[in-house]
A and B are shown apart, each in its own frame.
Chain A
Amino acid sequence: MRIAILMPAYDEGERLSETLRDLEAQAAGGGHRITVFVVDDGSVPPIESAVVSNTDGVALRVVLARHPVNLGQGAAIETARRLALDPRWDDAFDAYVTMDSDGQHRAEDAVAVATAIVGGADVALGDRFAGESDVPASRRLLLRLARVFERWTTGLVLSDAHNGLRAFGRRAIVQMRLRQNRMAHATELTRRISMASREKPLRLVEVPVSVRYTKATLAKGQTAGGAVAILVDLFQGFLFGEPR
């Protein structure tokens, strides 16, 4: 498979290196060609090229882009998406995978969601509740609430709408333009999927994945206060126009 990975990164070092090494091992082991589009979202100091270029094999290619200032995760994913569709690197990828850079997502799961696309799906969403993740209780509650909200606003019934590990086929990825710069992008994505399905339904599958929670990744993740910020962003998107 030829896989494009869209990977936002903010103030990451060793964990990012490790994520890339894992991906390289997966690529080499499974005979895949993986291109990772790493977007440094204005880290201070910037993520050094050495951090992302330590992979040595022939199966993994890393493209690094830098936002001169911090914009947010949604904006970084959108930049990675445009890069992946840019003719300079466009490799007629079989699947486009969004993945975290902090080691929360496992490389084998990234290949698994991509495999679902090759198997005929347009969108494959990782489902951490079906996999072997040890989701903390508070996080579980927040994610359940997010799911109810999602179902209410988009009409899509998803088990784990806010999982960052997802894969898209070509037809789907070109329609996934993100305008929400910060964390509201996950809800925006769900809405895009639901909107794109109106013309011709996208085939959607959920793939069990594991999410590794550590102290450091939890500290960077979403909180209830962050959820309020997301609602404010969504409301502004609703007020001032969003999907076009």
Chain B
Amino acid sequence: MMIPEVTVAAVLLVGFLAALFVHDWTTRARNRRLLYVQLAVFVAGGLLILFPEIARRLAHLVGIGRGVDFVIYPTVIWLVRESLLSRRRRREEEERLTELVRAIAIERAQTVSRALR
């Protein structure tokens, strides 16, 4: 039987997760399905925080030294990928906006000088 490790950091982090969830639950009540997914992720996160032994054992099982690293490595990989994807999306959006703005400009272009009209 594992015993929860209630440190100051654990209390603050779990409190933060709970506050975030309450906030989203009250302000984004429309998309319930997303909120349930979020709840599952948060509960898993909370368990990992309160019972570091879970991550520690899983880490040792796959040959990683610390439990924290077991959580951080995949998170970093996911964040980097996410940041690259969003940069690419932004660039694609920009290209679309450019073509739209250009089409409007070309459509409305006019000869403004008096000569050679």
Contacts and interface: CB of A to CB of B under 8 A. Distances in A.
A66 B117 CA distance: 19
A57 B108 contact: no
Given A181-B98, A236-B91, A240-B88, A52 B105 contact: no
Contact of A82 (B84, B92, B102): B102
A117 interface: no
A52 to B, nearest CB: 5
**Residue from B84, B97, B113 having most chain A Cβ neighbours under 10 A:** B113
B106 A79 contact: yes
B76 interface: no
A33 B116 contact: yes
Interface string A48-92: 010011011111111111111101000100110011001011000
- Taking residues whose C-beta sits less than 8 angstroms from the other chain, chain B's interface range is 20 to 34
Contact of B115 (A60, A69, A82): A60
Please list the 8 inter-chain residue pairs (A to B) with the smallest Cβ-Cβ separation, ordered nearest first. Answer: A65-B109, A62-B113, A61-B116, A53-B112, A65-B105, A64-B112, A49-B112, A58-B115
Interface in A207-244: 236, 239-240
Given A58-B116, A63-B109, 4 more contacts: A56-B115, A67-B101, A79-B106, A82-B106
B114 interface: yes
Given A181-B94, A236-B91, A240-B88, A63 B105 contact: no
A35 B95 CA distance: 28
A59 B115 CA distance: 7
Given A61-B116, A240-B88, A69 B101 contact: yes
Specify the main secondary structure of chain A where it touches its partner: mixed
Contacts of A82: 102, 106
Contacts of B9: none
Given A57-B115, A58-B116, A63 B98 contact: no
A236 B116 contact: no
A71 B97 CA distance: 9
A60 B113 contact: yes
A179 B110 contact: no
Contacts of B110: 63-65
Interface string A16-52: 0000000000000000010101010000000001001
B34 interface: no
B81 interface: no
Interface in A177-221: 179, 181
Contact of B111 (A61, A75, A179, A240): A61
